[in-house]
Amino acid sequence: MELIERYIYAVTHRLPQSQREDIAKELRGLIEDMLEERGHEGQVTEKQVEEVLLELGDPRKLADKYRGTKRYLIGPELFDHYLMVLKIALIATGVVIGATFVIQVMLDPSSILESFISLIVSTVNGIPMAFGWTTFGFAVIQFVGAKQLNVNLQEKKSWNPSDLPVVPDPKGRVKRGDAIAGIVFYTIFIAIFGVSNEYFGVWFFEDGKFHNVIPFFNEDLYGYYFLFIVLMFGFGIIKECLKLIYGRWTMKLVIFTLIVNVISGIGLLFVIAEPAIWNPNFMSQLVESGLVVAQSETYNVISFIWGKVTYWLFILWLFALVWDVIDGYIRVRRSKRSE
């Protein structure tokens, strides 16, 4: 009878391939047995079949019982992490799109309408893309790692009260907002340097329209400093992620931060030793553009600032890296003391 086959299909197509045939055979036998018990042997009417199927109930529920587990794309054990990463991804995407729009408008105010259209287009494209890739990534982790996670959960059964983490002192707690802001900041900078490094400089306008850029960086060494910046900011992102994962300052986290910052610091020292990263013709290009008159007072001031800034920027950055570690260490000490 067709109705029976339809019912069996409705159950089995929701089940793993390997079990379908066996379950179908068993269900068919069951339905025939149930019909037979009602004395409908030989001739069965559609109504009688319906009665039996109604007794067996909704095929979806029956399939759920066979499966034994609920189905989901991202399970409850991953969902918190998923939400957090999703938030970061969406914020970063939004900020990059917004910044692109602002830059475009500044470069060419007259075509603001086109910029606005491309803002909408990249919002419509970019936001679902960030959403989609994050979800896809987590779905893969869920799919691949489901067994692993089960093992972990079983291991957790031998849980001990001494495993409980100490309630972190407010001073020792990692501020999630700060860490997320850090990740967003690094992402934006990588995006800006990666996509539009040529716009990173002094903008030169002529008749209210964007004309030229005097770049801060030496364009011949573009590949060199791009790699350096990606590495530096990439490590920064890893560091902020670690802070988010740990949630509070611990000695381990301080050591991680130390390692990451030492690597960044070594990178920085390389750059200081290689001042060629800066545009060597910056001052003469400024003069050529007509913004500054050579040897005037303004020229001297800018020249002085340019020389100092390119040098002190690295020193300050180096100092920030060192402070990052010291600050972490102090926070660990403080939260330990108040225990």
Interface with another protein (CB under 8 A), residue from 16, 29, 109, 170? 29
Please report, for residues 63, 65, 315, the alpha-carbon distance to residue 71 in angstroms, rounded to integers and kept in the order given: 11, 12, 54
Considering only 54-62, 86-94, 115-123, 183-191, which stretch makes contact with another protein by CB under 8 A? 54-62
Interface with another protein (CB under 8 A), residue from 1, 4, 56, 103? 56
Q: Which of residues 61-90 bind another protein (CB under 8 A)?
A: 61-62, 65-66, 68
CA distance 48 to 299: 98
Q: Is 3 in the site for another protein (CB under 8 A)?
A: no
253: number of Cβ within 10 Å: 20
- How many residues of this chain interact with another protein, rule: CB under 8 A? 21
Q: Which of residues 122-151 bind another protein (CB under 8 A)?
A: none
Q: Find tokens 């300050």 and name the residue.
A: 316
Question: Of 36 and 114, which has the nearer Cβ to another protein?
Answer: 36
- β-strand partners of 215: 201
Q: Is 208 in the site for another protein (CB under 8 A)?
A: no
Q: Is 51 in the site for another protein (CB under 8 A)?
A: no
Q: Please, are residues 168 and 335 in contact by the beta-carbon 8 Å criterion?
A: yes
Q: Please, are residues 202 and 286 in contact by the beta-carbon 8 Å criterion?
A: yes
Q: Please, are residues 211 and 108 in contact by the beta-carbon 8 Å criterion?
A: no
Question: Of 23 and 322, which has the nearer Cβ to another protein?
Answer: 23
Position 86: which residue type?
Answer: L
Question: Of 32 and 288, which has the nearer Cβ to another protein?
Answer: 32
Question: Of 26 and 46, which has the nearer Cβ to another protein?
Answer: 26
**Assign residue 245 a region: left if phi > 0, alpha if psi is -120 to 50, beta otherwise?**
alpha
Q: Is 220 in the site for another protein (CB under 8 A)?
A: no
CB of 67 to another protein, least distance (A): 8
CA distance 100 to 94: 10
Q: Which residues bind another protein (CB under 8 A)?
A: 19, 22-23, 25-30, 32-34, 37, 55-57, 61-62, 65-66, 68
